[in-house]
């Protein structure tokens, strides 16, 4: 082998020893230190990564947050299961019911329909408050109440309500919406842009409210023109006048 070849080989070996070996050593040392640090301190902030995200204190924090969500009420069994899984993850690494701030009895109740029931009660309370305040959106979300209770194996009576009460809230909200549409149509017939909708749309919505309709809760309610303080003749006249003023845009 020539002298030049020996020189090149010697140079390559020296380069490997001086630069590559220390580099590999630093990587191994860092990874090993990271592992030891995590095992010793758990919630260390010295590094980023999966270990930090799953540190014991963070697992406990997520479990407590999941408990809060369950107590506030969840409308979807899937989210209930996710919260329960989060709490179980804390148990698996040694945290106790006391650490999380709950009891076995409370968790069992929340898991077995309790959280769904809380959600349904909250929706009912909201609907009652908005109905009492005269909101025309008081019935928003009422349909979800019965569906959530069904998933929890509960009845409307279990949260202190009935189909009659829910239908009443729905009917009154629809009545207020229809009254608002009639008022908007009257304003538009006078040249005032009272609604983002065109007159024809409002007219159809009002007439629809005068027709028999099956509600979410199985009862049929019909508004008479007299109840709404109008007549078919007035409505036909209003939509004609308003349409002459507010012609729909044509592309």
Q: 66 is written with which tokens?
A: 């999941």
Burial call 94-117: b when 16+ CB within 10 Å, e when fewer: ebeeeebebeeeebeebbebbbbb
- pLDDT one-digit tens code per residue, 221-248: 678 899 999 999 999 999 999 999 887 6
Count of CB atoms situated within 10 Å of the CB of 49: 9
Q: In this predicted structure, what is the pLDDT of residue 3?
A: 59
Q: Which residue has the tokens 């007219």?
A: 203
Contact 181, 242 (CB under 8 A): no
- pLDDT one-digit tens code per residue, 33-84: 444 333 433 443 333 444 455 789 999 999 999 999 999 999 899 999 999 9
Average pLDDT over residues 164-177: 92
Count of CB atoms situated within 10 Å of the CB of 188: 23
- pLDDT one-digit tens code per residue, 204-220: 999 988 876 666 666 56
Radius of gyration of the chain (CA): 34
Average pLDDT over residues 79-102: 95
> Does 92 have pLDDT greater than 70?
yes
pTM, full prediction: 0.69
Q: Which residue has the tokens 């009154």?
A: 172
Q: 52 is written with which tokens?
A: 């930090």
Percent over 70 (pLDDT), the chain: 73
Q: 107 is written with which tokens?
A: 């968790």
Q: In this predicted structure, what is the pLDDT of residue 141?
A: 86
Helix-strand-coil percent breakdown of the chain, rounded to 5?
Answer: 70, 0, 25
- Domain positions in the chain are 37-161, 176-251
Distance CA(198)–CA(94), nearest Å, equals: 63
> Does 197 have pLDDT greater than 80?
yes
């Amino acid at each position: 082998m020539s002298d030049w070849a020996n020189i090149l080989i010697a140079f390559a070996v020296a380069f490997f020893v001086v630069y590559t070996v220390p580099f590999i050593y630093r990587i191994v040392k860092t990874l090993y230190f990271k592992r030891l640090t995590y095992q010793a301190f758990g919630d260390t902030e010295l590094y980023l990564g999966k270990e930090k995200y799953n540190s014991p204190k963070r697992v406990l924090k997520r479990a407590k947050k999941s408990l809060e969500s369950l107590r506030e009420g969840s409308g979807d069994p899937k989210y209930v299961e996710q919260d329960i899984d989060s709490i179980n993850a804390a148990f698996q690494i040694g945290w106790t019911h006391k650490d999380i701030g709950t009891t076995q009895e409370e968790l069992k109740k929340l898991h077995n329909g309790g959280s769904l029931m809380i959600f349904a009660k909250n929706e009912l309370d909201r609907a009652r408050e908005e109905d009492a305040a005269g909101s025309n959106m008081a019935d928003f979300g009422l349909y979800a109440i019965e569906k959530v209770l069904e998933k929890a194996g509960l009845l409307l009576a279990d949260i202190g309500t009935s189909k009659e009460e829910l239908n009443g809230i729905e009917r009154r909200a629809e009545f207020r919406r229809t009254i608002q549409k009639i008022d908007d149509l009257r304003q538009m017939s006078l040249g005032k842009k009272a609604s983002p909708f065109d007159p024809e749309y409002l007219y159809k919505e009002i007439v629809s409210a005068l027709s028999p309709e099956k509600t979410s809760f199985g009862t049929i309610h019909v508004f008479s023109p007299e109840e709404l303080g109008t007549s078919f003749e007035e409505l036909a006249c209003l939509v004609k006048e308003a349409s002459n003023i507010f012609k729909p845009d044509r592309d």
